[in-house]
Amino acid sequence: MMGREQKKIWIYNIFPRLLGTIKDWESHLGRIIWMGFDILFLNPISPCGASGSIYSILNPKAIAPEYGTEEAFQRFLNLCHQQGLKVWVDLVANHIAIDSPLIKEHPDWIVWEGGQPKNPGCVDNGQWISWKDLAQLDFSNESVVDYQKSVIKYWLDLGVDGFRADYVYGISPAIWKELIAYGRSILLNVQFFGEALGCPPEQVVSIAKSGFDYMASSIFWWDGKAEWWPQQRELYSQESIKLIGFPESHDTVRCASFEEALLKLHRAYEQSDGILIPAGFEFGFRRKLDVVKTTKRWWIEELPGRWNLSERIRQLTHS
């Protein structure tokens, strides 16, 4: 994996609705910096469709009024940069909201199935789950590739430092190579973090080779004994693929106990090149983050939490 001389990166995941508006996020910067984080990662903050899911995006080149304005976001980015924090945003390139105006404006950008836009999905516990509020984009159309380049440019022009690529396995490595190269033509040091959880390790390697700086690690699901994880880790090490581990994420349940939280934090720290902490983990929040239902009230209701791992995180970030 990584040499001792290389510092691990620490990523704090601001789940936008949990922390409120862009102005509200600013009030958390002091403690995030105190804990020692290097990067903030934001789930989608673009306007969403009728389903209410933050991942069902109407227009990826806009900021939803529920959070604030472009000017407010640029002020937030400036504050982060002044204090040494980089900011990554979610790049949801594979699909758009089923009710996005882009579907009527550019029907040739969409994959159609039986006269309807095709819904992407995933395998969950052996069953295919179709996401009915999403429409899959057709990357065989060069115009779609150009559009995604314009999305990347929009966010880089605002001042972000990198992207977490959602559902990265929905797009071919060749297309990712083109998109990443385009991003680096605008900002040389822009970073890309790919999420391909659940994919076979060989597929993760293929995706990573298209230019990703980091890939999401499956360490969360390891029981400390099964052979699959050491085997994956060895493969990724041989291929020089850097991994970002997490003790929780917006897609997982919260840790059930202090002991589990500490174990998963240390496991991610010891076996990853980067560590991602979702907002609320440090306080032992109970409720799993929800892409539709989460609100700022959850943050208020959960505090002061079941425990406080802030000091332990600070010790690890400074070690």
pLDDT in tens, 139-164: 999 999 999 999 999 999 999 999 99
Return the percent helix, strand and coil in the chain, to nearest 5. 40, 20, 45
User: 9-95+142-317 has which fold?
Assistant: TIM Barrel (3.20.20)
Residue 242, pLDDT > 80, answer: yes
Residue 192, pLDDT > 70, answer: yes
**What residues have CB less than 8 Å from 186, skipping those under 6 apart?**
152, 153, 156, 157
Query: Phi/psi zone of residue 225: left (φ > 0), alpha (ψ -120 to 50 degrees), beta?
Result: alpha
Confidence of residue 6 (pLDDT cuts 50, 70, 90): confident
- The sign of the CA dihedral 190, 191, 195, 200 is positive
Residue 3, pLDDT > 50, answer: no
pLDDT in tens, 8-50: 999 999 999 999 999 999 999 999 999 999 999 999 999 999 9
20: helix, strand or coil: coil
Residue with tokens 């080149």: 61
Confidence of residue 128 (pLDDT cuts 50, 70, 90): confident
Top-confidence residue, 292 or 4 = 292
Which residue ranges make up each domain of the chain?
9-95+142-317
Return d(Cα 119, Cα 135) in angstroms, integer: 5
Q: How far is CA 18 from CA 112, 226, 245, 288, 307, in A?
A: 35, 34, 22, 11, 18
Helices vs strands, H then E, count in the chain: 12, 14
What predicted TM-score, i.e. pTM, was given to this entire model? 0.96
pLDDT in tens, 159-190: 999 999 999 999 999 999 999 999 999 999 99
Supply the mean pLDDT for the chain: 96
- H or E element in which residue 172 lies: none
Q: Are 300 and 19 in contact (CB under 8 A)?
A: no
Supply the pLDDT for residue 124.
75
Q: What's the alpha-carbon Rg for the chain, to the nearest Å? A: 19
Among 212, 317, 276, 301, smallest CA distance to 15 is for 276
pLDDT in tens, 112-125: 999 999 999 887 77
Return d(Cα 181, Cα 92) in angstroms, integer: 17
